[in-house]
Chains A and B, each alone.
Chain A
Amino acid sequence: MKYALLIQISRALLLARWKQTLVAAIGVTFSITMFIALLSFMSGLNQLLDGLIINRTPHVRLYNDIKTSPVQPVALSANFKGASHHFVRSVKPKAERPEIRNSRAIIKALQKDPMVLGVAPKLVTQVFYNLGAVRINGIINGIQPQQEKRLFLFQDYVTLGDASDLDRVSGGIILGKDIADKMMAAPGEVIYVTTITGAMMPLKVVGYFQSGLREIDQVNSYVSMATAQKLLGKPSNYMTDIQVKLRDIGNAPLLAGQFSKRFSVDAIDVQTENAQYETGSFIRSLISYSVGITLLVVAGFGIYNILNMMIYEKMDSIAILKATGFSGWDVKFIFTGIAAGIGILGGLIGLLLGFGASLLIDQVPFETSSLPTIKTYPVNYDPVFYLIGFGFSAATTFFAGYFPARKASRIDPVIIIRGK
């Protein structure tokens, strides 16, 4: 009953001077709109840049590294155990085969792991592209097109043709855009590659891929796992890499260590592999958050100002309410209610407009050769921004109303009346 009355009074005061209310609400709306639009945009760009690396990089990569043995024979000798220190110079790595042993069992085990989203094997080998008399260095990646598409968005980088054609066309190859240009190899044509063992093999071009990094596009091309194995004359369990995509990228460093021990292979996580990239990503997030907080603080002061003014204008009403028997608490409730009303109304409209602005930004053309699938500016519609924006507008307006209302509620009504 009491609250209903107070809320009713708040509402009446709000609606009676709706123009003023509107101006105040627009102030809130504008700030929240800007906050949502800018943060969605910045975060979208950030995600895009993150995705450039993260999407096509396995979270954990299992492989056999070429390195010296950590335990040298001298350390095993009983004669030199204990207090002695060994100096061994010019240690050279042992000739080790690049393939992963027992690969099938490892893949099966990984696929059962609940933290693993997917597993894709890979066979990387060096070749020469034959261009008449000229040989160009190249790298051929044997992949499983379906897995690669699912886990690493391979199709996004295939600018011409379909990744699945690797499976359909026996001996099909997807060439890097730049090497294809150099070889003037159109789809359907046959090119010849020479393997490191000296064997020469014809491959049929089924498409181009473009990663945006010229260095990669000049060298790399993709074939199916089976083709790559045939190229090297190896059996169907031969692979050099096992790429693992996790459900949570944050677990990568931990799991890399575990996998390495469990399967006795080398494992590297994306964070270690792209440390410089991590730094960049971190700094970009930091920038977005600073901008976001700055926006909110500026918006907060604006909101506070508007409401402060509004409440001081209503001092008269406060005096009357108090004179007719409304307590300070009632007055506080009424005016905090007014402020919260403006905050919620303005905030909600702000969210809607912010969403609209995001949609607009999403329509602006943005074409770049490095990102063949991106046609417009990226926007991140993360609901968290909307929650923060709304929570902030509600909280700021609440305090912006609460403090002046509290001040007004404390003074004797006569002071306001006298002041006239």
Chain B
Amino acid sequence: MKELILQTSHISKSFRDPVDVTVLSDINLQLSRGEFVSVTGKSGCGKSTLLYILSTMDTDYDGELYIDGVCMKGKSEPQVARIRNEKIGFVFQFHYLLNEFSVLQNVMLPALRLGRWEADEIRQRAYEKLVALDMAEHAQKKPNQLSGGQKQRVAIARAMINDPLIIMGDEPTGNLDKRNSEIVFEIFLELAQQQGQTLLIVTHDQQFARRTGRTIQMEDGRILEPLY
């Protein structure tokens, strides 16, 4: 059995406004190191909600979440922020880069916050990540000068900067055309295969999902048993 890095037990969530709507019920999930997992399901099945809970960005839920063996319940907000900073890289559907900073600075920010390395070293690392994603030539540009696919690659570089335990993506290719989707997927695949990076990607693209190591099917807030 491989090392578990993410585990949930009986996670449920419901919105109380205006009537009780259960979005997630009794989610039990385990992720081992090095896995490339996709979460699929129809719109509104709760897959994004689950991802936000797993990424600690949503703290309003029932049940327990363990990241790297540590329970997230009862942690203070700065502690959770620290874990998010150190152990989780996140890629959104709509890029979410800070337009006020250059591409390179965007990538550097989480590492500067973490403070594990010196600023020069962080710059070096950020640059390497950009080189690896073929974005080095755009390092000094502002994010709003980039195309959607390029932005997404920068976001991936940012997610990777702190060597996180796990990279999570919320429909990272959902807003991209075929060619860019392919590029982004290739990057993920390469990360998983060559660096043993753990990945958890939410997608509704079945083609995408099929090519990942494991697919978690969701429906109406529940995880369906694997079909294979």
From A316, A320, A324, B85 is in contact (CB under 8 Å) with: A324
Contacts A320-B97, A417-B92 known; A325 to B86 CB distance under 8 Å?
yes
Alpha-carbon distance A292/B115, docked complex (angstroms): 47
- Interface contacts (Cβ under 8 Å), in number, total 78
Alpha-carbon distance A64/B2, docked complex (angstroms): 109
List residues of chain B with CB within 8 A of the CB of A1: 115
B45 close to chain A: CB less than 8 A: no
Alpha-carbon distance A327/B59, docked complex (angstroms): 14
CB closest residue in chain B, given A329: B78
Please state if A324 and B158 are interface contacts (CB–CB under 8 Å): yes
Alpha-carbon distance A316/B97, docked complex (angstroms): 9
B4 close to chain A: CB less than 8 A: no
The A-contacting residues of B in range 96-130, CB under 8 angstroms, are: 96-101, 105, 109-110, 112-115
The B-contacting residues of A in range 300-345, CB under 8 angstroms, are: 316-317, 319-330
Interface majority SS (helix, strand, loop, mixed), chain A: helix
B84 close to chain A: CB less than 8 A: yes
List residues of chain A with CB within 8 A of the CB of B115: 1-2, 5
Contacts A2-B115, A324-B85 known; A414 to B58 CB distance under 8 Å?
yes
Please state if B113 and A324 are interface contacts (CB–CB under 8 Å): yes
Q: What distance in Å separates the Cβ of B99 from its nearest Cβ neighbour in chain A? A: 7
B52 close to chain A: CB less than 8 A: yes
Q: 1/0 per residue A6-19: CB within 8 Å of B?
A: 00010011011100
Alpha-carbon distance A324/B57, docked complex (angstroms): 10
Please state if A324 and B100 are interface contacts (CB–CB under 8 Å): no
B73 close to chain A: CB less than 8 A: no
Number of interface residues of B (CB under 8 A): 32
Identify which of A17, A317, A327 gathers the most chain B CB atoms within 10 Å of its CB: A327
Number of interface residues of A (CB under 8 A): 28
Please state if B112 and A5 are interface contacts (CB–CB under 8 Å): yes
Please state if A412 and B100 are interface contacts (CB–CB under 8 Å): no
Alpha-carbon distance A322/B109, docked complex (angstroms): 11
Alpha-carbon distance A15/B78, docked complex (angstroms): 27
CB closest residue in chain B, given A324: B110
Alpha-carbon distance A5/B119, docked complex (angstroms): 10
Please state if A326 and B57 are interface contacts (CB–CB under 8 Å): no
B208 close to chain A: CB less than 8 A: no
Contacts A412-B60, A414-B52, A417-B92 known; A324 to B99 CB distance under 8 Å?
no
CB closest residue in chain A, given B79: A327
From B81, B86, B90, A326 is in contact (CB under 8 Å) with: B81
Q: What distance in Å separates the Cβ of A315 from its nearest Cβ neighbour in chain B? A: 12
Contacts A16-B99, A320-B97, A414-B57 known; A325 to B92 CB distance under 8 Å?
no
List residues of chain A with CB within 8 A of the CB of B110: 324-325
Q: What distance in Å separates the Cβ of B5 from its nearest Cβ neighbour in chain A? A: 17
A413 close to chain B: CB less than 8 A: yes
List residues of chain A with CB within 8 A of the CB of B109: 9, 321, 324
19 contacts between A and B (CB under 8 A): A320-B97, A320-B98, A321-B109, A322-B57, A323-B55, A323-B90, A324-B84, A324-B110, A324-B113, A325-B81, A325-B84, A325-B86, A325-B113, A326-B81, A327-B81, A412-B57, A417-B52, A417-B92, A420-B94
Closest 9 CB pairs of A and B: A325-B85, A16-B100, A327-B81, A327-B78, A414-B58, A414-B52, A324-B110, A414-B57, A325-B84
